[in-house]
Amino acid sequence: MSTALPLGIDVGGSGIKGAPVDLDKGEFAQERVRIDTPTESTPEAVCEIIARIVEQFDEVHDGSPIGVTVPGVVQHGVVKTAANIDKSWINCEIEKLLEDRLQHDVVVVNDADAAGVAELAYGAAKGQDGLVIMTTLGTGIGTAVINRGVLVPNSELGHLEIDGVDAETVAASSIKTAEGLSYAEWAPRLQRYYRHLEDLMWPDLIVVGGGVSKKSDKFLPLLDLRTPIVPAVLRNAAGIIGAAVLANGHQQEHGRHTS
CA dihedral 71, 75, 79, 82 (to 10 degrees): -50
3 state DSSP class of 85: coil
Nearer to ligand BGC, 83 or 108 (CB): 83
Contact between 35 and 52 (Cβ < 8 Å): yes
Contact between 105 and 4 (Cβ < 8 Å): no
Residue 83: CB minimum distance to ligand BGC, A: 3
Nearer to ligand BGC, 8 or 72 (CB): 72
- Note the residues at the interface with ligand BGC (CB under 6 A): 71-73, 81, 83-84, 110-112, 136, 138, 140, 142, 156, 158, 168
Q: Identity (one letter) of the amino acid at 74?
A: V
Residue partners of 6: CB distance under 8 A and separation at least 6: 20, 21, 23, 64, 65, 66, 67, 244, 245, 247, 248, 251
Nearer to ligand BGC, 236 or 251 (CB): 236
Q: What is the DSSP letter of 143?
A: E
Residue 180: CB minimum distance to ligand BGC, A: 22
Residue 212: CB minimum distance to ligand BGC, A: 13
Q: % helix / strand / coil in the chain, to the nearest 5?
A: 40, 25, 35
Residue 137: CB minimum distance to ligand BGC, A: 9
Residue 37: CB minimum distance to ligand BGC, A: 13
Nearer to ligand BGC, 106 or 141 (CB): 141
Nearer to ligand BGC, 119 or 168 (CB): 168
Query: What count of other Cβ atoms lies within 10 Å of the Cβ of residue 51?
Result: 12
Nearer to ligand BGC, 20 or 140 (CB): 140
Residue 259: CB minimum distance to ligand BGC, A: 30
